[in-house]
């Protein structure tokens, strides 16, 4: 796995590889200075994470796509990627909500230095979190089993809680007990 230390997207992949007990080696990639070999052989976009399957030679990048590949290729008894189409669609909708609603709302609130925009940014985060609060089916996003949706969300929720408590003195999950659990 090619990764950048501390990258939430790389951590998504690491969680899945650990959950599936896939042997791997990590190559650290400088996010600001990608070498020519990486751009040519691994990811022409220069982003991390990326994987090269030693058995097949397949190169896959983009964390959510990597995780589906890993689940399809290695997941026997775990069922990180549900087999039924409706459950797969729900999983992908959770991932889409995370990447297009929650993560951007968190980041823009965290980086905000304009007090006149603070209330709107806090509301955007509250709405994104409300979707989790209302949509969680069980102890995990899709019910009783840990899935790729949970693996995708974990690094982002960890950052959400830590960064907003540390930098904004906010406790973002206090009003969302199901999500917090």
Q: What is the pLDDT of residues 41-99, one digit of tens each?
A: 999 998 889 999 999 999 999 999 999 999 999 987 678 999 899 999 999 999 999 99
Neighbouring C-beta atoms of residue 137, cutoff 10 Å: 10
Q: Going by DSSP bridges, is the β-strand pair 50-52/59-61 parallel, antiparallel, or unpaired? A: antiparallel
Gap between the terminal Cα atoms of the chain: 30
Containing 61, the helix (H) or strand (E) segment is: strand 59-61
Residue 135 CA, chain-centre distance (Å), reads 17
Q: What is the pLDDT of residues 24-53, one digit of tens each?
A: 998 888 777 778 888 899 999 988 899 999
Which of 6-10, 16-20, 31-35 shows the highest mean pLDDT? 16-20
User: Which residue, among 100, 71, 56, has the nearest Cα to 12 in the 3D structure?
Assistant: 71
Containing 74, the helix (H) or strand (E) segment is: helix 63-74
User: Which residue, among 94, 119, 96, 93, has the nearest Cα to 108 in the 3D structure?
Assistant: 119
Contact 16, 80 (CB under 8 A): yes
Q: What is the pLDDT of residues 106-162, one digit of tens each?
A: 999 999 999 999 999 999 999 999 999 999 999 999 999 999 999 999 999 999 999
């Amino acid at each position: 796995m090619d990764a950048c230390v501390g990258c939430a997207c790389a951590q998504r992949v690491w969680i899945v590889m650990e959950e599936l007990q896939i042997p791997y080696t990590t190559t650290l990639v400088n996010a600001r200075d990608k070498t020519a070999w990486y751009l040519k052989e691994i990811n022409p976009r220069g982003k991390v994470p990326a994987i090269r399957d030693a058995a097949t030679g397949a190169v896959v990048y983009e964390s959510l796509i990597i995780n589906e590949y890993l689940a399809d290729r290695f997941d026997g008894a775990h069922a990180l990627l549900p087999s039924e189409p409706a459950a797969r669609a729900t999983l992908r909708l959770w991932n889409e909500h995370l990447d297009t609603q929650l993560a951007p709302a968190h980041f823009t609130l965290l980086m905000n230095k304009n007090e006149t925009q603070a209330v709107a940014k806090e509301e955007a985060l509250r709405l994104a979190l409300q979707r989790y609060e209302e949509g969680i089916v069980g102890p995990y996003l899709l019910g009783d089993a840990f899935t790729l949706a949970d693996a995708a969300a974990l690094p982002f929720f960890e950052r959400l809680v830590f960064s907003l408590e540390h930098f904004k003195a906010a406790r973002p999950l206090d009003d969302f007990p199901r999500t917090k659990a």
